[in-house]
A and B are shown apart, each in its own frame.
Chain A
């Protein structure tokens, strides 16, 4: 590399960049790349992250068993090896990717495994019966999926070409659980597919990624007609009636998820994702106002006509009434137990393995936040929320710094879907909004959710790599 300091410092894209860029930089241009500074930062953060995960498992064993069992610690160590595998893969194919996403996701995943393991101990599950072992196996699959994503998708603009294919895939994934013989119902919600008892999967989790890609591509192509025209009313410019089509279609889709799949949370997630991406694409508040009123109207009608939605609302408003607490299907027993658990945790929690999170129904999936709140206390819950906050903020940052509109929208959409999911779950458990069954990203037991969220991590990493990977000129004044 020759020195052109006299003519200024200009960098070109890295090796893996778009083919359109000239292979040999014009004169006056040279590469400066601080060698792998971001990756080294990530390396140190990952070491801390893996140490946190290992100590969480050890503390669970000390607290609940009173001794250290090396088997699960070894399994957890295997997972750390995979995470470092992803890190090494990024050193080759995504050198300039964001250094914080991977450590944050690792810690969240590890905390989830430790809590699931703790509940296994309380319920006496071991071996393949144990949800923690299955969670570790799924985490391994999910991280391998993330590595594959980073290798296969070298430039996120490829996804732009498959906008409508992504839309189709999302619809198919949503319909799959309703296919007789393939779909399975659990806890009332028809959102699972599987053959018999083995290998069940929740295709809706993957659908949210496909939907984010579809919405981003669709909105980039059509945003002019959605944002430029319309009448002004109450200080907001409202869209024309004929441009309402997409909003109504997504609304109908969410409503059918509520009616046919009996899944309030998923419907809220998809609709919220669409609204936010629409708002980011058009910067029109009127879309949000219209969308929210549509959704509220739908939710109120559903709460009057559909039993399970009505129960959720009643539990949310009066969980402590005897009638709601003792109602057998759809009572507020779980919600109240979760609240008692959180209260028992107090400020610093009972400590790993010292509480009774197993008293709440499904403490390892829907209610993992209440379980963690009991054992880690308010300090621990806030730490977890801070991790989510940082994760989502990095995602928005990647979207903000994006060079192309599709990448911007996709980054914001993927980050927001994680944020909204956390809000729906934590809000439901803490009685801010009616409780809806959704998985807590990275924490909750469940393979499909892990795979989907690790693919989101991989896509955000890929986006952030392309963001930094462009010509630049440095002027030191």
Chain B
């Protein structure tokens, strides 16, 4: 038997190279997975806690079905567990009311902001304006400078004004304020969008006999729609999560979900499992939006970054 010697083999340098490649792969995926755990663990913890009972919480059990037997305790206290969902539940009614408030307020104000903001951004990207001493760049700055305005500056004057206008604790009052707070972001995103659409498109449309508004509605809007969706989603996230104004300006009728969650946190007697269920129910819509419409959110946030 002749000894088989390998004729072709990797040189020493190649092997070192491969080892280096593997270590870098492992390092990259290691960090990625570590950060994924950091991002997702609080959510996982909240979900599992909502199915725990008192001893499970105290023992610090982590994995359902292995460490402990899941129970519907937390969801039952919200009236959302399978056995209580068909029965009357004041907690659930309360929760649904807050949920509806949040939904109505955030959707309406985001829609309003997208409409007002898109129109303004389109106008500013296409026409020359002169409002008194203000030219286009000044008007843009006027809109975008609202971003710097901290909510706390407006909060107390609005509190007093709304009291006088009987808008305190109403949905309309919150919608107006939320629209104001997300409008600069919408204008920021949409200005970028419209800026990237060539003006030749409208010029052609105008030659064909459309009016300025006609050209905007039939030619430009469909092209800019993805950007508008991005702006809408981003506004939705911000307004859904808003707490400060809601806590100051609402008390019983127009409370939003964050206010409800916060008021439950304060009370000492509250049990972990029901608190976890409530928190999870409050963040679930946005988790769904984040997973499904991630593309648009990234598009919206990236709009201002790359010029």
Asked whether A and B interact, the reply is no
